[in-house]
Each structure stands twice: as C-alpha cells, then as structure tokens.
C-alpha cells in the first residue's frame, strides 16, 4: 500500500531506535503484524533484545543530561517542528492507524490531528512552567517553589490509541526537559515505527542527541520487566488494563519510582426526563460504537429514567440499525473491526455471561462473516438490558456492548448507580435541568475524573487533564497542569539577612 511506502514501513522492520539510529537485532523472534481490516500480513518486526534495551536506556539518560539544560522555550521550538512534520504525514499516518488498528479513517486522521494539537499545546506550555512564591515567616527571607526536569520518561501505550497517547506523554515530557522511551503495544508496532521515522527528520535537522526520543519493541516478560525495574527511569506512564497497571504500580513503587496510570473505564451516561434526545442519541451511538467499543472512554452503561426508558430504547435500536459496518478505510462506514479474534471471543463470552445473569440482548451481538468480513474481526454492536449489579456489568468488556439500566426517582438515584462500579474514568449526563446538571458535577455527583453535561463520554479535548479515579489509576495526562507529573518539585528558601532565625520561633543559641 502506498501509505506504507510513504512512512518507510518495510517488509521486515527493526525493533529498537534511539532516534535516527536503529538496532540490528534479528534473532529474538518476530512480530508478524496482520491487519484486522482484511486479515492480511502488513509487515514483520524483529523484536529487540535486552542488550538493545540497555543501549536505548543509556542513550536516553545521556540525552536527558544534555536536554535538561536547553531553555524550555527552545525545547518548545523542537516540539513545534515535530508538529509540522506530523502535518506533512497526517494522511498516510492516519491511514496506517486505521489499517493496523481497525478504527475508522475519520478516527485515524483524528488521532493524528490530536498529536498535532498536543504539539501546539506543548509549545505554549514551554513558556508556562510556572512555580510559585510565598511569604516567609522569617524576616528578610524569600521562599518559592520551582520545577526541574525529571529524567527518562517511559510511555507504555495501548493498541486502541497507537500514536496519540505517546504524543501526550512525549511532547509534554520534552518541553519539561525529559527524554522519552516508547514501548508500544505489540498489536500495533508499525505506527510507532512510522512515528519514529517521521520525527527522525527533526532530530537530524537540529542535531539533537540520540536517545531524546527512543523506541523499543520487545517482549513484556523481558524488556517490559526490565523497564519497570529500571532505576534510571523515574517515571513510567502506562495505558492499559487494570491488571497491567496494578503490576506496573507495584513494581515501580518498590523502587520509589513514579507512575501515571490510565487504566480501565466503565463509563456511563445518565439520561433524565428532560434529556434532549436529538442531542443524546448521536452522542450515545458514537460513544458506544466508535473505535468498535475499544476506547477507554467508550460509553458502556446508559442509565435511563423510567419515564423515557422505552422511548430511548426504541430510538437507539433504530439508530443502531443504520450503523454501517465494514472496512474502516471507507469513510462511509461507521464502524470497523475489533483488534483481533481474541477480542471477538471476549465479545461473545460477555454475552454468554449476560444471559447467565438474566440480561437480555435486544439488538446485535452477532459475529459477521462473508464478503468484506474475511478477517473474522467484525461484529454487530450489541444493546443489552441489564441491572447494574451484574458481575459482567461491573467489569469492562473492551467491545461494543451497551448496557441499558433503568432508574426511578430523582437524579441522585441515578448517580448512585453510576458510581457503583470500581472504575472512574469518564461520565456524562443529558439533562436540561440546571439543578440536575449541577448535582452531577458536585461533590456528591460523578466520582469520575471526567464529567460532562450534554455531551458524550468519549472525545476528550487535549486542553483538559485526561485521567480517572479508583481503579482507573488516578493518573493525568495531556492538558491543564498535567505537565507537573513530568517534573520534580523543589521548594527554595533564601536568607538575605544577617541573622539566622529558625522557623516556628525555635531558639538554638550556641
């Protein structure tokens, strides 16, 4: 395919890079990358060795030692240039995201645009790494705090956003004075290789140190574990399942490292009697079937007041009937395939568990076959009537299954149902009642890191901090003041008097 050539993806690709230099290892095994779109082999990646890993980390550390002394606005200039390079390759990179991962071409292009947007954001952030001043209780003393670069930052990204999550971390880390090491999902390594080759142009033109932006594609049991245990890496950012995040947090915390965890979501939309259905239905459908239900912000639960329950159900079934499923490279299709056949099995198994617990599938749920569906990864999204306490509803199934849950009474009852899961990423309410909206956003409202009114649960903008609470991990990435996680905070006190008074009035005369 033409976009593979434009991006420098070859039949066989190497699995480690320090920026412009690539390793030569080819005896550690191969990743054969097949597209969920048509099942065809796209390319092969040679896995990196533990020796490759050590080389990459050492160069990343050395790059950090130089990069931290570059003025932050000049770091921002490099990020600006990366944004320009991404603009040049938006079309082919978006197509590769779609072909390798399976999301619609509109979403693939949108993901690359998100990379561009975070570059623009980070450029501005490079001039806003603000500290604070405060008054000292001691005379002729000045106090302030400031932020210093942290070191090598590792980004472990998931398959569903194969490039955007890296950019959230790498671009913010770069303006903060850190180097970045990327370990992408083994399901989508080619997009990471393509990005590494795109930014190599900027590295060469600016004579940047090797290791500033590095890539490692290797086994989790070897390379991945070394990364978690490596004291040269002060911060590990992990996007993935709750189980993966728990393991990473435990290992990294034992060496007193820091983690940013972006884990599971079990996101819900509350619909009150005053909800505007013309606005709500498109938001629900995109939120539940976008990326084939494989977003961490996918709408999984719909909590509907009994007064409008039947109407909402009827309207949703009709709307789902108009969803076009097929190759995501065709922009007329709404939904492409799941990432692989294992994901399809999970989709099928979840429906068996739903039936066992008393739930009822009212639309979809089939695995599609025949012409256009040869990869075996296409399914018809399901709408299911359930109760919130079902075990399967309490879990996150990374597939297009939308649970309908009925509530009675005031919005406070819906909020109780909403919060009664272990995850806490994204949430939304559709209401034209100001009091209901404010209650949802109040201390007694949604317990999620993201709470929206009259928009869906997915599609967060890069200007806000992204992340969630509870078993979602508590991490924050992207906008707002998320940059602080990539730096170390230091409080400074300067005595410009001729005396040495102690705080709290303590006397110590010698």
Question: Is 176 a residue of the active site?
Answer: no
Largest Cα span, the chain:
90
Q: Which residue among the candidates 100, 119, 176, 296 is catalytic per the annotation?
A: 296
Q: One of 111, 114, 262, 396 is an active-site residue; which one?
A: 262
- Tokens describing residue 165: 């999550």
Q: Of 110, 104, 461, which Cα lies nearest the Cα of 292?
A: 104
Alpha-carbon distances of 459 from 154, 156, 284, 286, 455, rounded to whole Å = 25, 21, 12, 9, 9
List strand residue ranges (DSSP E) for 217-313, in order.
235-239, 258-262, 267-271, 299-305
Look-up: residue for tokens 């299709």?
333
Q: Which secondary-structure segment (H or E) carries 100?
A: helix 90-101
Closest CA to 212 of 72, 76, 58, 19: 19
Residue 379, by phi and psi: left (phi above 0), alpha (psi -120 to 50) or beta?
Answer: beta
Strands 382-385 and 360-363: antiparallel
Asked if residue 32 lies in contact with residue 186, where contact means CB atoms within 8 angstroms, the answer is no
Q: Compute how many other C-beta atoms are within 10 angstroms of the C-beta atom of residue 80.
A: 16
Q: Specify the residue for token string 């025949």.
A: 370
Residue 208 — left, alpha, or beta (φ > 0 → left; ψ -120 to 50 → alpha)? beta
Separation in Å, CA 126 to CA 83, 178, 213, 475: 14, 12, 17, 21
Q: What is the chain's alpha carbon radius of gyration, rounded to the nearest angstrom?
A: 24
262 a catalytic residue: yes
Token pair, residue 98, equals 């779609």
Find the helix packing angle between 164-175 and 72-88, rounded to 10°. Answer: 150
Reported residue count of the chain is 510
Are 205 and 178 in contact, with CB atoms under 8 Å apart?
Answer: no
User: Is 344 in contact with 375 (CB distance < 8 Å)?
Assistant: no
State the catalytic residues.
262, 296
């Amino acid at each position: 395919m033409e976009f593979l050539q434009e991006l420098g993806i070859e039949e066989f690709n190497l699995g480690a890079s320090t920026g412009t230099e690539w390793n030569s290892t080819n005896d550690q095994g191969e990743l054969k990358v097949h597209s969920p779109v048509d099942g065809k082999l796209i390319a092969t990646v040679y896995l990196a060795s533990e020796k490759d890993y050590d080389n990459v980390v050492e160069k990343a550390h050395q790059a950090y030692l130089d990069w931290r002394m570059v003025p932050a606005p000049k770091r921002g200039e490099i990020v600006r240039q990366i944004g320009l390079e991404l603009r040049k390759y938006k079309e082919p990179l978006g197509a590769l995201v779609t072909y390798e991962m399976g999301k619609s071409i509109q979403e693939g292009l949108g993901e690359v645009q998100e990379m561009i947007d975070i570059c623009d954001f980070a450029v501005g952030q490079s001039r806003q790494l603000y500290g604070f001043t405060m008054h000292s209780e001691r005379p002729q003393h000045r106090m302030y705090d400031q932020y210093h670069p942290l070191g090598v930052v590792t980004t472990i990204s998931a398959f569903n956003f194969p490039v955007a999550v890296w950019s959230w971390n790498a671009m913010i880390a770069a303006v903060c004075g850190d180097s970045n090491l990327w370990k992408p999902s083994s399901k989508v390594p080619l997009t990471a290789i393509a990005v590494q080759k795109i930014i190599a142009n900027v590295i060469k033109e600016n004579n940047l140190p090797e290791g500033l932006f590095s890539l490692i594609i290797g086994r989790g049991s070897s390379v991945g574990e070394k990364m978690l245990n490596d004291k040269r890496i002060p911060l590990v950012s992990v996007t993935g399942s709750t189980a993966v995040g728990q393991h990473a947090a435990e290992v990294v915390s034992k060496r007193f490292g820091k983690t940013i965890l972006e884990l599971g979501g079990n996101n819900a939309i509350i619909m009150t009697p005053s909800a505007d259905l013309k606005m709500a239905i498109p938001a629900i459908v995109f939120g539940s079937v976008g990326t084939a239900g494989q977003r961490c912000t996918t709408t999984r639960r719909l909590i509907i007041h009994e007064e409008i329950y039947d109407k909402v159900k009827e309207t949703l079934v009709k709307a789902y009937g108009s969803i076009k499923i097929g190759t995501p490279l065709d922009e007329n299709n709404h939904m492409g395939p799941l990432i692989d056949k294992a994901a399809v099995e999970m989709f099928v198994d979840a429906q068996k568990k739903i039936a066992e617990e008393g739930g009822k599938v009212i639309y979809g749920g089939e695995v599609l076959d025949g012409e256009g569906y040869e990869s075996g990864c296409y399914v018809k999204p399901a709408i299911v009537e359930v109760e919130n306490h079902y075990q399967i509803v309490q879990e996150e199934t990374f597939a297009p299954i939308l649970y309908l849950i009925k509530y009675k009474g005031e919005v406070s009852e819906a909020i109780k149902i909403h919060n009664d899961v272990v995850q806490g990423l994204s949430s939304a309410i559709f209401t034209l009642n100001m009091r209901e909206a404010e209650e949802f956003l109040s201390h007694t409202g949604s317990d999620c890191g993201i709470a929206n009114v009259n928009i869906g649960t997915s599609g967060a903008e890069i200007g806000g901090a992204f992340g969630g609470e509870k078993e979602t991990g508590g991490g924050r990435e992207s906008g707002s003041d998320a940059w602080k996680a990539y730096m170390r905070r230091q409080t400074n006190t300067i005595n410009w008097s001729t005396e040495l008074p102690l705080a709290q009035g303590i006397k110590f005369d010698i």
